[in-house]
Amino acid sequence: MHPTTASFLGGLRKYKIVLLGEGGVGKSALTMQFVSHCFLDYHDPTIDGESGLLDILDTAGQQEFTAMREQYMRSGEGFVIMYSITDRQSFREVSQAKKQIERLRRSEDIPMVLVANKTDLESKREVTTEEGQALAQEFDCPFFETSAALRQFVDDVFHSLIRQIRRKERMGLKSTQKDKKLRNRVGTIVQSIFRRTKTRL
Ligand SMILES: Nc1nc2c(ncn2[C@@H]2O[C@H](COP(=O)(O)OP(=O)(O)O)[C@@H](O)[C@H]2O)c(=O)[nH]1
Ligand SMILES: [Mg+2]
């Protein structure tokens, strides 16, 4: 494993975020909801008054290609691990994803958020809020129940993750990074610029 330095683009700090979770849990929906709002004028696109660039890897259908999966698990600076409250199997898969990250990034404290999506489908709920909270406690990471459909708690997921990455960076810890070219091939990369505000310190 190689220590990395932070990457920049056009003078902006670029944060590499990876979304993990079973197909159909709403990774793409969550990403699109977050990114689309960053372009609207009335929405303040900075996070805590600090600008940056998000490089979001919205993974899809690569589960069978272990080598690729391992590559992006190694290169991510922060992970959104997601399941759907309507799909118990997707909740089980979360633990697998977490184990794999731990195995690949043994010595590190990895910024991570656990997300339970589709809260608008309450009548189809198979996983309780308490179960999600308990798992997040076990992972020692923040937990959010979201509805990508209704755009509920979507920003909180990404903001919480960026805060963790910044905290970790301030503490001077290093994360690992590998082959960027492969990242570009394994999924959709959505880049979202959030601008500087005049009020920053
Ligand atoms: N009701 C509801 N449907 C959702 C939500 N998020 C995603 N979906 C739907 O679930 C399906 C899979 O979503 P998608 O974002 O493609 O999942 P992905 O495979 O994890 O990227 C699509 O039909 C979405 O419209 C949500 O919060 N609520
Ligand atoms: Mg998708």
Measured from the CA of 117, which atom of ligand 1 is nearest?
27
Measured from the CA of 22, which atom of ligand 1 is nearest?
20
What pLDDT, on a 0 to 100 scale, did the predictor assign at position 12? 78
DSSP 8-state symbol, 3: B
Of 117, 123, 153, 154, the residue with max ligand 1 atoms within 8 A of its CB, to mutate for a pocket test, comes to 117
What pLDDT, on a 0 to 100 scale, did the predictor assign at position 192? 56
Of 19, 28, 145, 157, the residue with max ligand 1 atoms within 8 A of its CB, to mutate for a pocket test, comes to 28
CA nearest neighbour of 201 among 50, 57, 56: 50
CA atoms within 13 A on the CB side of 101: 27
DSSP 8-state symbol, 162: H
Distance, CA 185 to ligand 2 centroid (Å)? 15
What pLDDT, on a 0 to 100 scale, did the predictor assign at position 163? 94
pLDDT (tens, 9 = 90+) of the chain, 201 residues, equals: 344 557 877 777 888 999 999 999 999 999 999 988 765 544 445 778 777 788 888 887 655 567 888 888 888 999 999 999 999 999 999 999 999 899 888 877 899 999 999 999 999 999 999 999 999 999 999 999 999 999 999 999 999 999 999 998 888 754 444 444 444 444 455 655 554 444 443
